[in-house]
């Protein structure tokens, strides 16, 4: 193991890190992982409270998944997507079995979530003969050509003008209601009414798809009021619009079910996924397409393809990961973790006026920090100049052996599905202490 003290400097000098200004960047040099912990080159351990980027659902170094990657590397590293592959077939079959569709589904594999969202838009246009796509503000769908245009926040701006035909709407966010609502029911009704107005002015017959994260992910872990996703389903049905769930973060047990579609009892027409499918050990994404739509392509050529579609290394890893989730009951484990997080974060909210709201579902939570609970003024402004004092919070967490990430005034609390309660409790104690230091520093 390299202990070179210069490696952080070498990293900063030669590697471009996503989304941030590069000057003065410093981070631990992570050498290995064990269960819920990242371990740096100096041997310091960090509880992975954000599961990587809400991706390492199985924790680090799951033995069966690691063994599957090694075994595949020994057999063959790559063969063309046009040649059949056992793990690819078996993984797609498993995905069909765990999908929300009784009729089953077929899967088109990609390398990442962004690519899956690019392709799902192309498929939706191809399937419906319509052009427009609706997405929500305060969403993230990736940073490639089309997906960056689908994205409804500042990470889109650098990619503009981007693609064409994307129309955005406001989705519910009860804590900071875009509709001046004071109850969940009002928020739901007004958000659906707003969407109907948007559609009226766009001509619903020109809309191919409505694509949405069933729980808003990196934009603050916002869960929707009861009835909202059901309302979207009804509106899409009325107008022949395809409902697409971006399950890149919510999929593979994060919400306490295989997919958020099942947790909330709303069935889309297509779903995109990535991250948790391999517990992020190897890049893999894809689109699950319900059988009645997928069979269109029995007669018509599929209008997309990639060198890495169903890459043998990725699908071997994905197959082992999906089996591990099933064998170890991990699709449901988020429900147990949800109880721990509600209790632990609830206590923190009682102790720290800085916490404006705790929200989430399954093992997918966030805390939103405010200057003042009554005015709800964000601790650092959304789309302001940067993380500001939130840097102190994350630095204090790291100093205490906990790593997570956030966006503006929101911090993610989303441990691996394999975490132990005692480990999580220790991490929440670090959150408690970091919040105290932050409060004193203000």
Ligand X SMILES: Cc1ncc(COP(=O)(O)O)c(C=O)c1O
- Strands annotated E in 189-306: 207-212, 215-216, 222-223, 242-246, 270-273, 285-290
State the minimum distance, in angstroms, from the CB of residue 229 to ligand X.
15
Binding mask 321-360 for ligand X (x = CB under 6 A): ----------------------------------------
Stretch that binds ligand X, among 79-87, 242-250, 384-392, 434-442 (CB under 6 A): 242-250
Looking at 49, 148, 229, 249, which residue binds ligand X (CB under 6 A)?
249
Q: Does residue number 213 form part of the binding site for ligand X (CB under 6 A)?
A: yes
Q: Does residue number 114 form part of the binding site for ligand X (CB under 6 A)?
A: yes
Q: Does residue number 142 form part of the binding site for ligand X (CB under 6 A)?
A: yes
How far is it, in rounded angstroms, from Cα 85 to Cα 154?
Answer: 40
Looking at 217, 253, 276, 360, which residue binds ligand X (CB under 6 A)?
217
224 or 423, CB closer to ligand X? 224
Residue whose C-beta lies closest to ligand X: 113
Looking at 51, 218, 267, 409, which residue binds ligand X (CB under 6 A)?
218
State the minimum distance, in angstroms, from the CB of residue 287 to ligand X.
12
State the minimum distance, in angstroms, from the CB of residue 197 to ligand X.
26
120 or 430, CB closer to ligand X? 120
Q: Does residue number 113 form part of the binding site for ligand X (CB under 6 A)?
A: yes
Stretch that binds ligand X, among 107-115, 188-196, 376-384, 429-437 (CB under 6 A): 107-115
Q: Does residue number 309 form part of the binding site for ligand X (CB under 6 A)?
A: no
Half-sphere exposure of 330 (CA within 13 A, CB side): 26
66 and 74 in contact (C-beta within 8 Å)?
no
113 or 268, CB closer to ligand X? 113
Size of the site for ligand X (CB under 6 A): 16
231 or 286, CB closer to ligand X? 286
State the minimum distance, in angstroms, from the CB of residue 292 to ligand X.
25
Q: What are the C-alpha distances in Å from 110 to residues 260, 279, 320, 337?
A: 20, 15, 18, 30
Q: Does residue number 141 form part of the binding site for ligand X (CB under 6 A)?
A: yes
Looking at 274, 317, 411, 428, which residue binds ligand X (CB under 6 A)?
274
User: H or E element: which one contains 74?
Assistant: helix 63-75
Q: Which residues of 172-206 are buried (b: 16+ CB within 10 A; e: fewer)?
A: bbbeebbbebeebebbbbbbbebbeebbeeeebeb
State the minimum distance, in angstroms, from the CB of residue 439 to ligand X.
30
CA–CA–CA angle 290, 284, 73 (5° rounding): 125
Looking at 140, 169, 224, 365, which residue binds ligand X (CB under 6 A)?
140
H, E, C per residue of 321-362: HHHHHHHCCHHHHHHHHHHHHHHHHHHHHHHCCCEEEEEEEC
Closest CA to 337 of 255, 265, 263: 255
State the minimum distance, in angstroms, from the CB of residue 274 to ligand X.
4
Query: Position of tokens 């100096």?
Result: 42
Number of other residues whose CB lies within 10 A of the CB of residue 78: 10
Closest CA to 281 of 113, 50, 29, 66: 66
Closest CA to 242 of 308, 280, 303, 288: 288
DSSP string covering 128-188:
HS--EEEEESS----SSTTHHHH--SGGGGGGTT--SSEEEEPPP-GGG-TT--SSHHHHH
Q: What is the SS3 assignment for 33?
A: strand
How far is it, in rounded angstroms, from Cα 274 to Cα 87?
Answer: 17
207 or 211, CB closer to ligand X? 211
Site for ligand X in 5-64 (CB under 6 A): 53
108 or 428, CB closer to ligand X? 108
Q: Does residue number 315 form part of the binding site for ligand X (CB under 6 A)?
A: no
382 or 405, CB closer to ligand X? 405
Stretch that binds ligand X, among 135-143, 233-241, 368-376, 430-438 (CB under 6 A): 135-143
65 or 370, CB closer to ligand X? 65
Looking at 248, 266, 341, 402, which residue binds ligand X (CB under 6 A)?
248
Number of other residues whose CB lies within 10 A of the CB of residue 123: 24
Number of other residues whose CB lies within 10 A of the CB of residue 1: 7
132 or 275, CB closer to ligand X? 275
Closest CA to 412 of 127, 216, 192: 216
Looking at 246, 269, 357, 368, which residue binds ligand X (CB under 6 A)?
246
Q: What is the binding site for ligand X (CB under 6 A)?
A: 53, 112-114, 117, 140-142, 213, 217-218, 246, 248-249, 274, 285
């Amino acid at each position: 193991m390299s202990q070179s003290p210069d490696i952080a400097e070498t990293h900063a000098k030669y590697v471009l890190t996503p989304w941030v200004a590069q000057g003065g960047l410093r981070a631990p040099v992570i050498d290995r992982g064990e269960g819920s912990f990242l371990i740096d080159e100096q041997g310091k351990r960090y509880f992975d409270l954000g599961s990587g980027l809400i991706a390492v659902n199985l924790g680090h170094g799951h033995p069966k998944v690691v063994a599957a990657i090694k075994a595949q590397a020994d057999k063959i590293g790559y063969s063309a997507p046009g040649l059949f592959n056992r793990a690819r077939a078996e993984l797609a079959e498993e995905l069909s079995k765990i999908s929300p569709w009784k009729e089953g589904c077929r899967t088109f594999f990609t390398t990442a979530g962004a690519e899956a969202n690019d392709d799902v838009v192309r498929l939706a246009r191809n399937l419906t003969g319509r052009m427009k796509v609706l997405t929500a503000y305060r969403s993230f769908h990736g940073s490639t050509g089309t997906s960056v245009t689908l994205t409804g926040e500042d990470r889109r701006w650098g990619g503009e003008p981007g693609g064409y035909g994307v129309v955005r709407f406001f989705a519910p966010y009860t804590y900071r209601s875009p509709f001046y609502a004071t109850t969940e029911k009002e928020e739901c009704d007004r958000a659906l009414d707003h969407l109907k107005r948007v559609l009226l002015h766009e001509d619903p017959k020109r809309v191919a798809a409505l694509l949405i994260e069933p729980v808003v992910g990196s934009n603050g872990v916002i869960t929707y009021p009861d009835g909202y996703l059901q309302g979207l389903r009804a509106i899409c049905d009325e107008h022949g619009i395809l409902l697409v769930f971006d399950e890149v973060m919510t999929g593979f047990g994060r919400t306490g079910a295989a997919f958020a579609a099942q947790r909330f009892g709303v069935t889309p027409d297509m779903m995109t996924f990535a991250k948790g499918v391999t517990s992020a050990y190897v890049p893999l994404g894809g689109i699950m397409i319900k059988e009645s739509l997928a069979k269109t392509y029995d007669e018509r050529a599929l209008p997309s393809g990639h060198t890495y579609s169903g890459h043998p290394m990725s699908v071997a890893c994905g197959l082992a990961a999906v089996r591990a989730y099933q064998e170890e009951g991990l699709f449901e484990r988020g429900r147990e973790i949800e109880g721990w997080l509600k209790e632990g974060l609830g206590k923190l909210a009682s102790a720290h006026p800085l916490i404006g709201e705790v929200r989430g579902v399954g093992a997918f939570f966030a805390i939103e920090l405010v200057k003042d609970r009554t005015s709800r003024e964000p601790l650092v402004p959304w789309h302001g100049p940067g993380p500001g004092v939130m840097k102190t919070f994350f630095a204090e967490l790291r100093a205490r052996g906990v790593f997570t990430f956030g966006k503006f005034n929101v911090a993610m609390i989303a441990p691996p599905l394999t975490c132990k309660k005692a480990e999580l409790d220790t991490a929440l104690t670090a959150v408690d202490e970091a919040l105290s230091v932050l409060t004193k520093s203000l």
